[in-house]
Amino acid sequence: MRTLERTYRIIFLTTALLLSLIGLVFVQSAGSYWGEVHYQDSSPFIVKQGVYMVISLAVAYVLVKSPLTSHPKFWTYCYIASTLMLVAVLIPGIGVVRNGSQSWIALGPISLQPAEFVKVALLGKLASGMKKHKEKSWQWQHFAWILLPATLIMLQPDLGSAVIMIVSAFVILFLAGYPLSFFIFLFVSGLGAFIALILAAPYRLDRIKSYIDPWNDPLGTGFQSIQSLFAIAPGGLFGHGFGNSRQKFLYLPEPQNDFIFSIIAEEIGFIGAAFIVVLFILLFASAFGIAIRLNNWNSFLIVTGMVSMITFQTFLNMGVVSGLLPVTGVTLPFISYGGSSLLTTWLAVGTILHYSANKKAG
C-alpha cells in the first residue's frame, strides 16, 4: 500500500514538472514573434516564465515542508489576504486594466492577479474548516465565503476565474454531504445571476452568439475562435514542426497565453497534443489516487478540491481553444504564460503533496 502511495506521488510530481517544462518550451515558441514585435526581444516571455517557475517551485517546496500548511488558521489568513487583494484591485491607481478587465496589481515590473490566488485560499479555508455534522447556519456561512470573492472577481470582470473557483468549491460542498436542496437553490440563484450578468454586459451575449457561429462576427467576437481552429486544423498528425507555427505571427493575439494549446497542436500535431492530454490525465488520476488514500477527512476534501480546480480549468481551456466552449480568459495550467497562473497551480501542487506526505494532517 505504501509503495502504491509513493508511486502516486512520483507520478503526480513528475507529470507536473514535465508539463511546466513543456510550457516553458512552448512559451518561447509561441511568444517569440509577439515579443519581437512588441518588445524588440524574441525571448522576454521565456525569461520571465523561467523566473516564475523557479519562484513557484520554491513556494511549493515551502508549502510541502511547512507544518503551517495543515493549520486551518493558515488558510483563514490566506483567504483574508487574497480577498483584501481583490478589493485593492478595484481601487483606481492600484488596479491595472488589461484587455478590458481591472484584474491586476502592478508592483514595478511584477504584476499579480489576486483572482488566481483566492481560488486556492478559498478551497483551503472551506475544506480545512468543514465539519461532518453541519448546522444550517454553517451552510450559509460557507455560501458567504464563496459569494464574497466571487462577487469581487465579477466586478473586475473575470467570469472564467469566478466559474473555476465556484465549481471547485461546490465539489468540496458536494463531497461534504450538503443536501440536494442547497445545490438546487445555488443552481437557480446561479442561473439568475448568469442572466443578470449577460443583461449587464451585452458583450457576453455576443460571445455566446459567436460560440454558436463564430463566422457571424469573424473580425470581432469570433476572431479568436476562428484563428484557434486555423491553428489546430492544419496541424494534422505531426504538426508543422517546433517553432513553425503560422498563427503566432499576430494572427492569434498573445498566443503564449490562453490559446497556447492551439500553437502546440499546430506545431506538434495531434500526436503531440494527445501526449500532453495524457500527461494531464496521469496528473489528475494520481492526484485523486492520493486523495482517496488520506486518513483525514479534511485532508481528503482539500486535496480533492485542489485537483478539481486544476482539472476543471484544464477542461475549460482546452474546450475554449477547440471551439467546444465559449471564449473565456482562462489559462492552461502549468503551460500558459503568466506568473500568477503558474504560481497558483504550483500552490495547489504543493498543498496536495503536503497532505500526501502528512496523511494525518488537517
Of 9-18, 127-136, 233-242, 246-255, the range with the lowest mean pLDDT is 127-136
d(CA 314, CA 191): 23
- pLDDT band for position 337 (50/70/90)? very high
Arithmetic mean of pLDDT, 301-311: 96
The pLDDT of residue 8 is: 94
Q: How far is C-alpha 152 from the geometric centre of its chain's CA atoms?
A: 17
- Of residues 43 and 272, more confidence is placed in 272
Say whether pLDDT at 1 is over 70.
no
- Exposed e or buried b for every residue in 143-159, given b needs 16+ CB within 10 A? bebbebbbebbbebbbb
Decide: 232 and 322 in contact? Cβ < 8 Å. Answer: yes
Q: What is the pLDDT of residue 362?
A: 53
Mean pLDDT (the chain) is: 88
pLDDT at position 79, please? Answer: 96
| SS3 track for the chain | CHHHHHHHHHHHHHHHHHHHHHHHHHHHHHHHHHHHHHHCCCCHHHHHHHHHHHHHHHHHHHHHHCHHHHCHHHHHHHHHHHHHHHHHHCCECCEEEECCEEEEEEECCEEECHHHHHHHHHHHHHHHCCCCCCCHHHHHHHHHHHHHHHHHHHCCCCHHHHHHHHHHHHHHHHHCCCCHHHHHHHHHHHHHHHHHHHHHCHHHHHHHHHHHCHHHCCCCCCHHHHHHHHHHHHHCCCCCCCCCCCCCCCCCCCCCCCCHHHHHHHHHHHHHHHHHHHHHHHHHHHHHHHHHCCCCHHHHHHHHHHHHHHHHHHHHHHHHHCCCCCCCCCCCCCCCCCHHHHHHHHHHHHHHHHHHHCCCCC
pTM of the model: 0.92
Model confidence band, residue 303 (pLDDT cutoffs 50, 70, 90): very high
Q: Is 293 a residue whose pLDDT tops 70? A: yes
Please tell me the predicted confidence (pLDDT) of residue 137. Answer: 58
Per-residue pLDDT band for 135 (boundaries 50, 70, 90) equals low
pLDDT digits (tens, 9 = 90+) for 213-228: 788 777 777 888 889 9
**Please, which pLDDT band fits residue 201 given cuts at 50, 70 and 90?**
low
Task: Read off the pLDDT of residues 47-102 as tens digits, 9 standing for 90 and up.
Answer: 999 999 999 999 999 999 999 888 889 999 999 999 999 999 998 888 888 877 88
